[in-house]
Amino acid sequence: MKKMKINTKKKLIFFGTLAVLLLVFSIFSEYLTPYDPYEQDLSIAKQAPSAEHLLGTDRYGRDMLSRVIIGSQASIYSTLILVAVITIIGTIIGIICGLSGKAVDVILMRISDIFLAFPGLVFALAIAGVLGGGIHNAIIALAAVSWPKFARLARSQTLAIKETAFIEASKLSGTGVFKMVFKHILPNIIGPILVTAVLDIGTMMMELAGLSFLGLGAKPPIAEWGSMMSDARSMLATAPWIVMAPGIAIFISVMIFNLLGDTLRDFADPKGR
Amino acid sequence: MDNILEVKNLNCIFNKGRKTQVNALKDVSFELKAGECLGIIGESGSGKSTSARIITRLVKASDGEVVIDGRSSSDISNKELYKIVQMVFQTPVESFNPRVKLGDGVGESLRNNGVSKSETKERVEKLLVECGLPKEYYDKYPHEVSGGECQRAAIARALANEPKILICDEATSSLDVTVQKEIIALLNGIREKRGSDISIMFISHDIALVQQFCDKVVVMNKGQVVEKGDANEIIMNSKEDYTKKLIASVL
Ligand SMILES: Nc1ncnc2c1ncn2[C@@H]1O[C@H](COP(=O)(O)OP(=O)(O)OP(=O)(O)O)[C@@H](O)[C@H]1O
Ligand SMILES: [Mg+2]
């Protein structure tokens, strides 16, 4: 039992460090690119990986390694913004439902049921299609369909906690709704919500890349992993590295955040320790 | 002596109109005189807690009236009500937010009423000491102290605004016998010190304790008052069958 706990802690530190490194890497990515990621040189187009261009070049002769490195910015930041938005909006709606009960709760939860009943990506595709492409619209589209999960979670947590004696005691201390939420409810429900948020980073990164891949996310020439893959998909047979490089970058990032989320969940759940 | 609390014809129906409908209270009336201690006894589910929760507005009555200090409770704002009525819960540790220091929990009502941080701290420490805890307990978290100590802190919290009515809903039930005795001694001390300024509504399963601690008693069964009156009188020689059975089952 004890040994398992130490292992979880070690794993948490390990994956936490990896995630932080990835973030730091993307913050400083501009300074880490060996070549200008946007400079075209058709004379070296579609070159296979070599000592000079470790991941090869794309059809405009741009260095793939540099593009994958700079692409981390658009891919990782838009994902984090998306996850932050759905976590915050979902949590606020969930707490409102949990506390208000009755009509407000029923209406908001039925709306969230509608979203939960459809495959999110299909719905997001429709919204992004209506809004038109672009990374901002992709974030809005995915946020619009992804908040219900957090609303459900925050609602059930709020419902469980609002009947506890300390909430009642604090009512008897004359505590108002705002203080009740921020001092007594939120700190006690935020743990599982954050775990879910971290676990969602990987999924959201994939879905954002998916929208970009379908031309509804980041637009070229902006380097973003999903749109880079989309851009190169016709060359999968002739120049596979152009598709593979951003694909592997997505894979590695998603893995890191998923493993971090899993460990965080194990760590937060005493039974799993 | 005047009644500090009068409960008049309270009715309470949960889940009205559904299959799970419960008539938790049926025409419940009783009164608490200033400075007295009123025991409420009755088997599980008889509506004792519901009565307390209606008085403290944690539950709405379907019908009936609560009169506090001569005024209808419906004319009293929450803010004012909670300066007059306070409650100590059955679960001491759970009645404090696990992430908030005991002292901050005890002082929450003071802060809500605009008392400054430093004065709150001073007053909370005094309250803790009055309730038999070292003032260093201000900085402890609920899980760092025992159930009995938590209950002392809960009593300190309830006393922070010098309420006129203190409701103890099975406040000693979850504690072991020696700690129970200490809490009762603490409550006796509080009564001695405040005299007619504090009245206690003491809900308990422990009939011997009620006999020893309370002046009056109300016996409840299935949401109704079976009888009420002098504690000794009722517990020693009741004429009601239900009361006799209840007492026989525990003594
Ligand atoms: N929120 C609620 N919703 C539905 N029914 C309730 C609710 N609260 C209490 N009841 C029901 O009302 C009745 C009275 O409950 P109450 O808690 O007042 O009993 P009690 O006398 O305090 O019992 P105990 O000695 O077990 O604490 C019970 O049948 C209970 O199931
Ligand atoms: Mg009860």
B15 close to ligand 1 (CB < 6 Angstrom): yes
CB of B90 closer than 6 angstroms to any ligand 1 atom: no
Interface probe for B, chosen from A163, A170, A173 (most Cβ of B below 10 Å), is A173
CB B221 less than 6 A from any atom of ligand 1: no
Q: Do B112 and A187 touch (CB under 8 A)?
A: no
Give the gap in angstroms from C-alpha B96 to the nearest C-alpha of chain A: 5
Domains of chain A: 63-268 (1.10.3720.10)
Residue B200: helix, strand or coil by DSSP?
Answer: strand
Average pLDDT over residues A14-36: 91
3-class secondary structure per residue, chain A: CHHHHHHHHHHHHHHHHHHHHHHHHHHCHHHHCCCCCCCCCHHHCCCCCCCCCCCCECCCCCEHHHHHHHHHHHHHHHHHHHHHHHHHHHHHHHHHHHHHCHHHHHHHHHHHHHHHHCCHHHHHHHHHHHHCCCHHHHHHHHHHHHHHHHHHHHHHHHHHHHCCHHHHHHHHCCCCHHHHHHHHHHHHHHHHHHHHHHHHHHHHHHHHHHHHHCCCCCCCCCCCHHHHHHHHHHHCCCCCHHHHHHHHHHHHHHHHHHHHHHHHHHHHCHHHC
What protein residues have CB closer than 5 angstroms to ion ligand 2? B 49
Residue whose token pair is 């969230």: A112
Rounded CA Rg of chain B: 18
Q: Whose CA is nearest to atom 6 of ligand 1?
A: B14
Contact B25, B46 (CB under 8 A): no
Q: Is the CB of B44 under 6 A from ligand 1?
A: yes
> Cβ(B243) to ligand 1 under 6 A?
no
Q: What is the pLDDT at residue A37?
A: 87
> CA B21, CA B38: separation in Å to the nearest integer?
29
* The pLDDT of residue A6 is above 80: no
Give the one of B58, B91, B108 whose C-beta lies nearest to A173's C-beta. Answer: B108
Task: Give the residue among A222, A225, A242, A253 at the shortest CA–CA distance from A55.
Answer: A242
pLDDT of residue A23: 92
Burial profile A42-63: b = 16 or more Cβ within 10 angstroms, e = fewer:
eebebbeeeeebebbbbbbbbb
In this prediction, residue A272 has a pLDDT band, given cuts at 50, 70 and 90, of very low
Extract the tokens encoding B149: 């100590």
Q: What mean pLDDT comes out for the span A56-66?
A: 88
Q: Is the dihedral of CA B58, B61, B67, B71 positive or negative?
A: positive
pLDDT of residue A155: 95
Which of A174, A184, A188 has its CB closest to that of B113? A174
CB A245 within 8 A of CB A65: yes
pLDDT of residue B75: 94
Contact flag A172-B99 (C-beta cutoff 8 Å): no
CA B24–ligand 1 middle distance (angstroms):
7
Task: Look over chain A and give the mean of its residue pLDDT values, rounded to a whole number.
Answer: 88
Mean pLDDT along residues A83-97: 96
Q: What are phi and psi of B132, to 5 degrees?
A: 85, 20
- Given CB atoms, is A102 within the 8 Å cutoff of chain B? no
Closest of B86, B17, B36, B92 to residue B218, by C-alpha:
B36
ipTM of the complex: 0.92
Least CB-CB distance to B56: which of A170, A172, A184?
A172
**B168, B159 contact by CB (below 8 A):** no
What is the model's pLDDT at position A273?
39
Q: Is A172 within 8 Å of B82 when comparing Cβ atoms?
A: yes
Residues within 8 A of B (CB atoms), A 171-190 only: 171-176, 179, 183-184, 187-188
Is residue A271 over pLDDT 80? no
Below-50 pLDDT ranges, chain B = none
User: Considering only residues 82 to 121 of chain B, which have any Cβ-Cβ distance to chain A shorter than 8 Å?
Assistant: 82, 86-87, 89-91, 94-100, 105, 108-109, 112-113
Question: How high is the pLDDT of residue B251?
Answer: 64
Ligand nearest to the CA of B44: 1
Nearest protein CA to atom 8 of ligand 1, as residue: B50
Express each pLDDT in A211-232 by its tens digit: 888 888 887 778 889 888 888 8
Whether A4 shows a pLDDT value over 80: the answer reads: no
> What domains does chain B contain, in order, with CATH numbers?
3-93+164-249 (3.40.50.300)
